[in-house]
């Protein structure tokens, strides 16, 4: 996303990752979800709606839902963003530092899996 000429105000990197995630009941689940690998919005434009525009464009392009995505080492700011905009809060901490929200497991059966390239 660009503004003010050639200044980059944000970017969002996603990809599919093979993960082993421990579920709420302690079981290991192997999955290959769409993953947010990096999400950045310049501090000078944060809280201006640009992050939401960028995130919504990614969701539309990837035909996915926020609960169906794994998040690689999300910052406190990203966790706040996901809680505020998508009500994503509950998850089991993982050794690999990925966050897969509990909603993934309830949404998984009602939403077709994200298309893989």
For residue 104, give the nearest of 39, 26, 32 by alpha carbon.
32
Q: Which domains does the chain have, with CATH numbers?
A: 2-107 (3.40.630.30)
State the pLDDT at residue 117. 43
Q: What is the pLDDT of residues 26-70, one digit of tens each?
A: 899 999 999 999 999 999 989 999 999 999 999 999 999 999 999
Mean pLDDT of 68-95: 96
Look at residue 111 in the predicted model and tell me its pLDDT. 44
Which of the four pLDDT bands, split at 50, 70 and 90, describes residue 112?
A: very low
What value, to the nearest 5°, has the Cα angle with vertex 104 and ends 39 and 28? 105
* 9 pLDDT more than 60: yes
Is 57:50 a contact under the CB 8 Å cutoff?
no
């Amino acid at each position: 996303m660009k503004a003010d000429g050639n200044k980059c105000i944000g970017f969002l990197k996603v990809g599919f990752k093979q993960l082993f995630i421990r579920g709420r009941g302690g079981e290991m689940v192997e999955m290959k979800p769409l993953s947010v690998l990096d999400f950045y919005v310049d501090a000078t434009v944060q809280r201006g709606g640009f992050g939401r525009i960028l995130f919504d464009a990614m969701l539309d392009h990837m035909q996915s839902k926020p609960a169906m995505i794994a998040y690689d080492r999300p910052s406190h700011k990203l966790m706040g963003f996901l809680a505020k905009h998508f009500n994503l809060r509950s998850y089991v901490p993982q050794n690999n530092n990925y966050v897969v929200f509990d909603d993934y497991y309830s949404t998984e059966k009602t939403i077709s899996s994200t298309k893989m390239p």
